[in-house]
Structure 1
Amino acid sequence: MIKVPVFDSDGNSLEDASFSEESFGGKVRMGLLRDVVIMHEANHRRGTASTKTRGEVKGGGKKPWKQKHTGRARVGDIRSPIWKGGGVVFGPRPRDYSFSMHRKAKKVALQSAILSKLKDNEVVLVDKLELDSPSTKKMANLLKSLEIREGCLLVIREFDETIWKSTRNIYNVKVRVSSDLNAYDVVKYKKLLVVKDVLDNLKFE
């Protein structure tokens, strides 16, 4: 069993919550985590890098000099890849780098990502997270009281505009709805801030 302290909205410790490793897959599968991270980063690539071949660069048509009796190497046109300003051989072309993984593999990767955070004491639980009105100052004070000074992923049950507006101006803090949670975001951020009930009822679908 893994014990995680639970705090209130003021940063005061309340109790310890216990989680079994089996509920998060039993072990951390590092190879699968690596594959999921590569997939997410590949899916974010724009793939717009492009170079021109010798058939696309400007110039050419006329032979620079005659074939023989000049003492120089023979040349067909100035668009040759060995000439400055010529075409590029095997250069990058626009392409789609994205690929997908099986849904079950992504589910197991998410379990492994959360389990790794639990084992490394990088999960912070709060009993509830409610704000009357958007306030960056209140959210920043909450993170400070919880001793969260690095990147943080805040997981909530459903979209809350008040919480979203309170965190959007805080550097390296991201809000995710539990149904949209993925292994890449869990691994990317140093701390995982979750409402206790959300983690208890998290469904790995």
Structure 2
Amino acid sequence: MVECVIRDWQGGEVGTTSLELKTAKPENAAHIVHRALVRQMNNARQGTLSSKTRAEVRGGGRKPWRQKGTGRARAGSNRSPLWKGGGVTFGPKPRDFSVKMNRKERRLALRTALLGRAEDMVVVQEFSEQLPRPKTRELVSALGRWGVSSDQKVLLIVTERDEMVQLSARNLCNVKLISATNLNVYDLLATDRLVVTATALEKIQEVYGD
């Protein structure tokens, strides 16, 4: 179980909350999180890269010159991989990179990765009412009051995507907005700080808690 301090819009402490999730054993934690990360990155690959073999390249039907008597090397096609404009030997072909992983393992890896970033987590009150209109400057100021520096990559986790919050955060290249039900291992690991609203933390406990 992790105890977290809740901060308001001004950065002051207004209470505490806790997050209790079942995680992998310490000796297996790194392995299962790594498997989940590799799975996610592999499944994101399109696998559409394709090159043509000598059989697929246009042309090359006629033998360039006779077999003997010219003093040149034997050649049966001008679309050989040895020739300019020829086919590719062992080139890439469309393939499926997807990796399978059990649902229980995926959820366990996600919970393990989340609690592994507990020291970098900042829990704040719901702040959508503080942004009646899109204002990136106010969101940046709030992040500073919450202890997040401007050069840190931030994963902002909310219960549901609010339009004003999304419009305020979209111009920040180091801030990514995500809902509590769409958590993934890659985003949790590829960030410096996690900023989670208190309601989103409750949603995480509800969805991922066993």
Is 1:155 the counterpart of 2:153? The answer is no
1:163-203 deviations in Å (ceiling 9; x for gaps): 11111111121111111212222112221110123224422
Aligned to 2:123: 125
Letter aligned with residue 108 of structure 1: L
Aligned to 1:178: 180
Aligned to 1:68: 68
Letter aligned with residue 65 of structure 2: W
Aligned to 1:80: 80
Q: Is the 8 A contact 1:24 1:115 kept in 2?
A: no
- Structure 1 Cα separation of the partners of residues 200 and 73 of structure 2: 73
Using the aligned pairs only, state the percent identity: 38
Q: Is the 8 A contact 1:60 1:78 kept in 2?
A: yes
Letter aligned with residue 103 of structure 1: R
- Structure 2 Cα separation of the partners of residues 60 and 200 of structure 1: 66
Q: Unaligned stretches of 5+ in structure 2? A: none
Q: 1:26 to 1:32 in 2, by over 3 A?
A: closer
Aligned to 2:208: 204
- Structure 1 Cα separation of the partners of residues 125 and 167 of structure 2: 21
Aligned to 1:103: 103
Alignment of 1:11-22 (within 5 A): 11-19=11-19
Q: 1:26 to 1:129 in 2, by over 3 A?
A: farther
1:81-122 deviations in Å (ceiling 9; x for gaps): 12222111110012232334222111101111111101xx21
Q: CA deviation at 1:18?
A: 4.6
- Alignment TM-score, normalising by the size of structure 2: 0.85
Q: Is the 8 A contact 1:4 1:17 kept in 2?
A: yes
- Structure 2 Cα separation of the partners of residues 78 and 188 of structure 1: 49
Q: Unaligned stretches of 5+ in structure 1? A: none
Moved more, 103-112 or 81-90: 81-90
CA RMSD of aligned residues (A): 2.1
Letter aligned with residue 193 of structure 1: V
